[in-house]
Structure 1
Amino acid sequence: MKLRLILSFFLFATCFTVFGQEKQNTVTVEKGLVKISIMYPYAEGKTFNMEYYETKHMPMVARFLGSNLVKYTIEKGIASGVPNQPLPFMAIGTFYVKSLSKYQAAIAPNIGTIRSDFANYTNVTPIILVSEVVK
């Protein structure tokens, strides 16, 4: 009986720890946030240095955004949604911010620095989409 109680407690503690940590590490993307998607189209002969983008470029831009930034994500393109079709994007970087006007105010004085850094990781001109999270 005592062993059963100890095993039950151990199982409960393990589940609580695992699920508790999982919940703490997630960030909910809420309705009304502004999403800025920076998409890098795939094309023959174009290059993209994911390591530099992940460790240097995106953190630099995130610092410019300050407390307006909720979170950012980095995606690496691996395939098209249609079989036997070329990859549409090599990478997509996304910033979720609280305010579009604060985003624009933070980016404007730093746009030269951001654009000049492109040469360090890609020879692609990105497509930028600004949208609102609806769900």
Structure 2
Amino acid sequence: MIDVMVAYPNTDTLSFDDDYYLEKHAPLVSSLLEERGLRYLRVHRQIDPKAPYHLVAHLGFDSAQRFETAFAEVGDQLLADIANFTNVEPVLQANDVIDTPV
């Protein structure tokens, strides 16, 4: 399992339409990627206004190959929508998911 983190930097000049993101962009992500192997979409919004990121989304896929194939098919459409809700470029990072005992 991999987790793709999409983090939006919290800059001094940040403009971010949370409503658009939650009501339009996140559903777009789900609708385009679910049939392409998306296992989950989790959105984390900062509670500290000084946090390094305003919002971080986590997308789960069974493998890096599944993500790469999905993003190759619909990534341009998803990236084009970013300008509709923010003026910052997100940071993407793919991570292996390692379960540890609590």
Under a length normalisation based on structure 2, what TM-score does the superposition of the two structures give? Answer: 0.86
Aligned counterpart for 1:41 among listed residues 1, 6, 9: 9
Change in Cα spacing, 1:133 to 1:72, as seen in structure 2 (3 Å) is: same
Structure 2: tracts of 5 or more residues without a match? none
Q: Confirm or deny that 1:72 pairs with 2:41.
A: yes
User: Aligned equivalents of 2:6 and 2:69: distance in 1?
Assistant: 18
The residue aligned with 2:18 is 50
1:85-104 alignment, distance < 5 Å: 86-104=50-68
More strand per residue:
2
Q: Residue deviations 1:17-58, cap 9 Å, x none?
A: xxxxxxxxxxxxxxxx11001001111121111111112112
- Whichever of the two has the greater Rg, that structure is 1
Cα distance, 1:123 vs. partner?
0.4
More helix per residue:
1
RMSD (Å), alpha carbons: 1.4
Cα distance, 1:66 vs. partner?
2.2
User: Aligned equivalents of 2:74 and 2:48: distance in 1?
Assistant: 33
Runs of 4+ in 1 over 2 A off after TM superposition: none
Aligned counterpart for 1:105 among listed residues 62, 65, 69: 69
User: Aligned equivalents of 2:45 and 2:72: distance in 1?
Assistant: 27
Instruction: State the identity as a percent.
Output: 24
Q: Report the 3-state secondary structure (helix = DSSP H, G, I; strand = E; otherwise coil) of the residue aligned with 2:73.
A: helix
User: Aligned equivalents of 1:34 and 1:62: distance in 2?
Assistant: 16
User: Aligned equivalents of 1:58 and 1:74: distance in 2?
Assistant: 9
Q: Report the 3-state secondary structure (helix = DSSP H, G, I; strand = E; otherwise coil) of the residue aligned with 1:46.
A: coil
